[in-house]
Amino acid sequence: MRALRHLFAPSLRRTFPADSLQAITDAITAGERLHGGQVMFAVEADLPLLALWQGVSARQRADHAFAQLRTWDTEQNNGVLVYLLLADHAIELVADRGLREKVGEAQWQAVCAHMQEQLRGGALQDAVLLAIAEVSEILAGHYPPGSGSKDDALPNTPQLLG
């Protein structure tokens, strides 16, 4: 069943048209004005066949994307990746080591649950924007504005993988 979902996954360009990508970029940019952390959004329509064959989970893929996209490459180790795997309807948040001691797993799971509720209603863009807002709120509690690097270490544009 999983293989079929991946074979017939929707196109990223159709799912996230240019105006949606811009709204997400704008939300990340606005959110980063509220805190000293870094937020990145990555989405993948489906997994490559080899990854499916090997039984790669959405979490494993999110961890891979976190490393591949260098989300860890921030001065204070406070990057967060919001990862969405469309074929599996999976949401994963991967936080850098600077946040692991500060933010409990329950907080990250709450963000995922809220995003999942929006996705069930078919509001894909709204779900992503909600997650970005909630992650930004969490980061603001630990890294107030001006506490981070002067550079925008990570791209604010959504990362379309695959």
Question: Which three-class secondary structure string do you get for the chain?
Answer: CHHHHHHCCCCHHHHCCHHHHHHHHHHHHHHHCCCCCEEEEEEECCCCHHHHHCCCCHHHHHHHHHHHCCCCCCCCCCEEEEEEEHHHCEEEEEECHHHHCCCCHHHHHHHHHHHHHHHHCCCHHHHHHHHHHHHHHHHHHHCCCCCCCCCCCCCCCCEEEC
What pLDDT does 149 receive? 60
What pLDDT does 121 receive? 87
pTM attached to this predicted model: 0.93
Q: Residues in the chain with pLDDT < 50?
A: none
* Sign of the torsion formed by the C-alpha atoms of 101, 66, 70 and 156: negative
Count the residues in the chain.
Answer: 162
Write phi, then psi, for 39 (nearest 5 degrees).
-125, 140
Domain 2-161: CATH class, spelled out: alpha beta
What pLDDT does 20 receive? 96
What pLDDT does 146 receive? 78
Write phi, then psi, for 159 (nearest 5 degrees).
-100, 110
Contact between 111 and 81 under an 8 Å Cβ cutoff? The reply is: no
What pLDDT does 160 receive? 97
What does the domain layout of the chain look like in residue ranges? 2-161
